[in-house]
Amino acid sequence: MADPIVVTAAVRVPASALSVRAVRASGPGGQNVNKVATRIDLRVDPDAIEGLSDAARARLRVLTRNRADAEGRLVVTSQATRNQARNLEDARARVAALIRAALVSPRSRVKTEPTARARRRRLAGKKRRAEVKRWRRRPAAED
């Protein structure tokens, strides 16, 4: 079985949550690509990740919603190299990076108001623009 993926000191993906499958890679490669199964499909059960808070788990689901399979597992594939072991390491690194990204909580937005001068400047710009457009109009017919 595969080794667990250690993301941080507190967060890790146990080996039981991982499912690894080697399949034939796509694209050019001649004889090698036709013979050797070097592409790695790594599936991770997000519910089994240890040390992940509920908020981080929710962020991970949002980050990986397009990479989930029918059972809700995260699917990461790698066919970067012609070597199965290196592709496995690449896939494991990608999983760790995704989990690390989910651990970072987004900064909350601080509501701000435009200054009085900025408001005046904006309205002056709108007035100038309206004036330019007014001068482009067809003159009114005089009777």
Instruction: Give me the pLDDT at residue 31, please.
Output: 74
pLDDT tens by residue, 86-98: 999 999 999 999 9
Instruction: Give me the pLDDT at residue 8, please.
Output: 85
Triad 110, 115, 121: Cα angle to 5°? 130
pLDDT tens by residue, 35-63: 788 889 999 998 888 888 899 999 999 98
Asked if the structure places residue 128 within a domain, the reply is no
Picking from 53, 44, 47, the residue whose alpha carbon sits closest to that of residue 11 is 53
Torsion angle of the four alpha carbons 15, 86, 83, 98, in this order, in degrees rounded to the nearest 10:
70
Instruction: Give me the pLDDT at residue 72, please.
Output: 86
Asked if the structure places residue 126 within a domain, the reply is no
Domain that holds residue 77: 5-103
One-letter amino acid identity for 16? S
Number of domains in the chain: 1
Distance (Å, whole) CA 46 – CA 75:
10
Instruction: Give me the pLDDT at residue 24, please.
Output: 84
Q: Is the pTM of this model over 0.85?
A: no
DSSP character string of 42-60: EEE-GGG-BT--HHHHHHH
Asked if the structure places residue 57 within a domain, the reply is yes
85 close to 92: Cβ distance less than 8 angstroms: no
What stretch of H or E contains 120?
helix 116-136
* CATH code of the domain covering residue 24: 3.30.160.20
Residue ranges in the chain modelled with pLDDT below 70: 1-2, 29, 143
SS (H, E, C) 126-138: HHHHHHHHHHHCC
